[in-house]
Amino acid sequence: MQPLSGVRVLDLSRLIPGPFGTLVLSDLGAQVDKVEDPHVGDYLRLMPPTGPASGEDPGLSGRFVALNRDKRSLCLDLKHPEGRKALLRLLPHYHVLVESFRPGVLDRLGLGLSTLHAHNPALVVCSISGYGQDGPYRERAGHDLNYAALSGVLAMSGPSPQEPPHPLPIQLADLGAGGLWAAIGILAALRQAEQTGQGSQIDISLCEGTLSFLIPDFGNLEVLPQGTPAPERGADLLTGGMACYSVYRTSDGKFLSVAALEPKFWANLNHVLGRPIDPSELLAPPHEQAQLRAELQAIFLQKTRAEWEAIFAATDACVEPVLSPSEVRYHPLHHERAVFFDGNPPGDESAGVLPQVRTPLRPRNLPCGRPPQHGQDSRVILQEAGFSQDDIDHLLKLSVTK
């Protein structure tokens, strides 16, 4: 039995933050039911690139497939009074509700927190928004790049202060600040609800969640000597300012990551490279770091990435290849730890291969279901909550569900 077996989650969210958070809950054993608009559904379904269409299936976005395995899909039009009534009728059968509307939207629909808790006092409501449920930016639109900018993360990304900051290569706010913080908050709130019988609302701000990843760096700012300028991008210890912690090109145009921060790793690195072992180089000033980097770069250009991999395989020097996403699947580490797996459920081999990525908390070799088609589970979910066939036919006639 998995840790969250028996926990039922009603997921009203779309795109990436909420669905990633509920993917984590699903990998822990929770039953996640997506509530989607009957006309469009989760926008992520059709965002390119999409897979090939077949029959009535228009072809799903690769991102949607990756984030929505094991989930079920229920269509409800929450703009329709009957859709809202149906949602409230479902609530006693769930432990968690996740939503990512702008603050105030659920209130305007008549589905505010007090109404939700009136129908299920122990319900955990997780609200994910760009800038939080209150404050001057509560209704402001934003995307991952904006949250990285306002949190201070973006300013640290890039080769030098003279160049513009680089957009981050992952959706840090959506996945880390939104999805992961949401999952952690839900787990804590479930524990509280179990102990007290009282539900709660979790206010997840994507901007604040992103800012939280800078907690160590804000700590550093507090201890800088008076008048000392804050480290700039490309110049700090962990942002490219040190030769011992950098990325180097190899002779075949590929790259190696070198993170020999400690004296023992720096010594091991230089022993392999045939350089004198001098721990004081780790504390050398910026102009000497540039000279060190140039010297190391000249050495690394003498061999291919694969040759350096073989050389450093038996050396404790914190040197690893820079893999492209298309290479990651085939690396022996990820293969042995079963990070990538075939997501087809048993007996569904005819549906084609469904490559999936295991979250760190998902048990290995656990079968999983395919992501749901739009509204494919509407009838089953409504029936589980006590809706009669006449009730369901009524909702279908009004196009509140499908």
311 and 196 share one domain = no
| pLDDT for the residue 181 | 98
313 and 377 share one domain = no
Q: What is the mean pLDDT of the chain?
A: 94
Determine the 3-state secondary structure of 272 from DSSP.
helix
| pLDDT for the residue 346 | 59
| pLDDT for the residue 154 | 96
Question: If you count them, how many residues does the chain have?
Answer: 402
Is there a domain that residue 233 lies in? Answer: no
| pLDDT for the residue 224 | 86
CATH number at residue 301: 3.30.1540.10
80 and 70 share one domain = yes
Pairing verdict, β 255-259 and 96-99: unpaired
pLDDT of 349 above 60: no
CATH number at residue 91: 3.40.50.10540
193 and 275 share one domain = no
pLDDT of 348 above 70: no
Is there a domain that residue 340 lies in? Answer: yes
pLDDT of 271 above 60: yes
Pairing verdict, β 124-129 and 31-36: unpaired
263 and 387 share one domain = no
| pLDDT for the residue 236 | 85
| pLDDT for the residue 234 | 87
92: preceding bond cis by omega (within 30 degrees): no
CA–CA separation, 182 and 204 (whole Å): 6
Is there a domain that residue 98 lies in? Answer: yes
266 and 129 share one domain = no
Q: Which of 65, 2, 18 is nearest to 186 (CA)?
A: 18
pLDDT tens-place string over residues 134-150: 999 999 999 999 999 99
| pLDDT for the residue 55 | 47
Is there a domain that residue 119 lies in? Answer: yes
- Residues in CB range of 296: below 8 A, 6 or more apart: 243, 246, 248, 258, 273
Backbone φ and ψ for 160, nearest 5 degrees, come out as -165, 160
Crossing angle for the helix pair 17-27 and 181-196, to the nearest 10 degrees: 60
Share of the chain above pLDDT 90, in %: 83
29 and 166 share one domain = yes
Task: Please state the domain count of the chain.
Answer: 3
What's the whole-model pTM score?
A: 0.93
* Across 21-38, average pLDDT: 98
* Across 55-68, average pLDDT: 78
pLDDT of 355 above 70: yes
127 and 256 share one domain = no
Range of the domain at 339: 334-370
159 and 251 share one domain = no
Is there a domain that residue 179 lies in? Answer: yes
**Residues identified as active-site:** 143, 174
